[in-house]
């Protein structure tokens, strides 16, 4: 059975040494009283919950899966899931970063994000039940009426109720403009919602008293396409005027999807038959409200793969130190044993270090981005708020796509380290691979994220936001330009920054001639920019580690070694990616459809 140890030392490094989060957060009025001891204590307790409560039921939950009673349409999650959720609620964990006005603890989103990394490492399938509630909370916090907020937010904050997002339909996935679900206005101002939704994570369960479905549907006079979509609250149980639960609503689970991973999460087919709903926001403006939830979910999905990368790495390292196989090419390293531990073999180390670098790089990028999110939400300075919002928008598709792509690679490498045992369920590695694979399509496929980055976030404003982020990189390069010890990190970073600028300009010119050029280059472009962000953070981490390498703390020695590995073995991938970006559209389109 796999084991998990929360990576508290690295989390504290990212927060307190790399990002100086306490000083940054104290500048925000809502977090003026925050301190490192509070942050560390909360996360240490959260790590115990993840490791001691969730991790032990991950493997069994995957084997058991969820059970649907087709007569009652009720779903039971695997054994132990409901009890773990009860502990989660009793511990006050759902309220961590929620608004105190609705019963929340008001801690920074950054703290919640690190907490959720640990939950995802321990048990991604379980974590998706409360995780989606945060997205529903954010959407209603931003767009709900005062009455809706008073009714739903305290219950979502406490965890008594959970939330879902109901977008996808059998005939449409990402292209929501094609959705057919209908909303008929009623005399009392409510709506009757009819339609079918699929792939609804945590769509039905008995872990909470009520489930708050946020459903996209069309009004009778709605324009065609995405401009005619409205958003509705559709609770599993109708809510009375006094907040108590009333009759069962006309929304139920008709089936469970049997996916290759996340078996412990109820991926539901949801049918709405005249279900009672209330409008969120303005008619036909539902996507704007839903995007609040979707963007939160995209950061969350990146965090899912970060969690899986970390736990897969931990278990692969433990196995590689224990498993003996063959001798090192340079001679025996464990002469007292019949063979050497496989961790002495260079390619095993390459696989392990790839996973380690992807975990540490992802943690730095996530931490930085969510710190900007806290500024966007809580800063009293309007300019700072707008700059932070723009930067979060730029980095969100990178987090979602780059970290989940890396998670797929990392978990696959870690499974490979186990050899044949990696494919055996009880070792846990093949589950991490299966769970990681789905994250690449969740909340908009990684191709959609790439199109969003290049087409909308970069070329959409002539690269203004990317240039602002680039100025931060340039300032760091200028600061360290004469530091001889930093040249191995600064020079490749500066070179890549120049190449990204030139590539962006080139692709922008091509797109003027043919917009399909964006589609041809977008996926590889996102990976190039993802590497640029990782290189920026690893260079900063290396600077800290160099200053403390003689402290006697092996953490800094390991951090420096990981940074050197990243720059030597992973960053060079960008050379190939830049060439494939420049190869353009022609190689993809010259074959006639009939020849496929």
- Active-site positions read 443
Backbone angles phi, psi at 271, to 5 degrees: -110, 130
Helical H runs in 71-158? 81-90, 109-143, 146-158
- Residue (of 58, 56, 55) closest to 6 by Cα position: 55
Contact 537, 361 (CB under 8 A): yes
DSSP tag of 108: -
Q: At what angle do helices 346-378 and 109-143 cross, to 10 degrees?
A: 50
3-state secondary structure 330-388: CCCCCCCCCCCEHHHCHHHHHHHHHHHHHHHHHHHHHHHHHHHHHHHHHCCCHHHHHHH
Residue count of the chain: 596
List of residues 6+ apart from 266 with CB closer than 8 A? 66, 75, 77, 201, 202, 203, 204, 205, 253, 256
Six token digits for residue 200: 């609804």
Q: At what angle do helices 464-480 and 382-417 cross, to 10 degrees?
A: 80
Dist. CA 111–CA 88, nearest whole Å: 16
List of residues 6+ apart from 588 with CB closer than 8 A? 520
């Amino acid at each position: 059975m796999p084991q998990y140890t929360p990576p508290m030392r690295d989390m504290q490094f990212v927060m307190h040494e790399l990002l100086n989060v306490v000083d940054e957060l104290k500048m925000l009025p809502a977090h003026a009283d925050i301190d490192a001891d509070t942050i560390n204590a909360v996360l240490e307790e959260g790590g115990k919950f993840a490791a001691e409560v969730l991790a032990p039921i991950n493997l069994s939950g995957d084997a058991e899966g969820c059970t649907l009673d087709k007569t009652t349409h009720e779903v039971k999650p695997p054994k132990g899931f409901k009890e773990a959720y009860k502990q989660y609620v009793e511990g006050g964990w759902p309220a961590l970063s929620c608004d105190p006005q609705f019963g929340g603890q008001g801690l920074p989103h950054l703290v919640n994000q690190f907490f959720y990394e640990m939950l995802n490492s321990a048990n991604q399938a379980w974590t998706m039940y409360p995780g989606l509630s945060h997205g529903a909370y954010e959407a209603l916090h931003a767009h709900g009426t005062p009455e809706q907020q008073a009714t739903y937010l305290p219950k979502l904050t406490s965890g008594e109720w959970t939330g879902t997002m109901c977008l996808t339909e059998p005939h449409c996935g990402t292209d929501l403009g094609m959705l057919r679900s209908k909303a008929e206005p009623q005399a009392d101002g409510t709506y009757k919602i009819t339609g079918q939704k699929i792939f609804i994570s945590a769509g039905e369960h008995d872990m909470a008293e009520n489930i708050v479905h946020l459903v996209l549907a069309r009004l009778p006079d709605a324009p065609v396409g995405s401009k005619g979509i409205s958003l509705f609250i559709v609770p599993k149980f109708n809510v009375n005027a006094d907040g108590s639960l009333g009759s069962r609503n006309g929304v139920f689970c008709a089936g469970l999807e049997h996916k290759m991973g996340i078996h412990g999460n109820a991926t539901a087919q949801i049918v709405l038959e005249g279900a009672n709903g209330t409008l969120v926001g303005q008619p036909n403006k539902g996507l704007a409200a839903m995007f609040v939830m979707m963007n939160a979910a995209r950061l969350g999905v990146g965090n899912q793969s970060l969690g899986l990368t970390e736990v897969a790495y931990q278990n692969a390292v433990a196995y590689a130190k224990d498993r003996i196989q063959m001798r090192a090419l340079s001679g025996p390293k464990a002469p007292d044993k019949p063979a050497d531990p496989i961790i002495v073999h260079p390619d095993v180390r390459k696989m392990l270090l790839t996973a380690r670098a992807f975990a540490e790089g992802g943690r730095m990028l996530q931490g930085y981005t969510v710190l900007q999110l806290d500024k966007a939400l809580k800063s009293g300075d309007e300019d700072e708020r707008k700059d932070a919002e723009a930067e979060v928008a730029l980095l969100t598709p990178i987090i979602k796509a780059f970290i989940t792509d890396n998670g797929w690679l990392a978990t696959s490498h870690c499974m490979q380290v186990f050899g044949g045992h990696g494919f055996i369920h009880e070792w846990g590695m093949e589950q991490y691979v299966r769970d990681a694979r789905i994250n690449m399509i969740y909340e908009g496929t990684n191709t959609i994220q790439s199109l969003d980055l290049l087409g909308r976030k970069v070329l959409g404003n002539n690269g203004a936001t990317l240039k602002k982020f680039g100025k931060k990189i340039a300032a760091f390069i200028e600061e360290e330009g004469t530091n001889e010890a930093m040249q191995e990190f600064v020079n490749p970073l500066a070179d890549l920054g120049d190449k990204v600028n030139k590539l962006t300009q080139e692709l922008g010119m091509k797109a003027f001639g043919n917009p399909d050029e964006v589609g041809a280059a977008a996926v590889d472009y996102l990976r190039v920019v993802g590497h640029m962000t990782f290189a920026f953070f690893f260079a900063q981490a290396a600077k800290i580690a160099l200053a403390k390498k003689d402290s006697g703390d092996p953490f800094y020695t390991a951090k420096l070694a990981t940074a050197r590995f990243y720059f030597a073995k992973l960053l060079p991938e960008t050379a190939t990616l830049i060439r494939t970006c420049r190869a353009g559209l022609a190689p993809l389109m010259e074959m006639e459809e009939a020849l496929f």
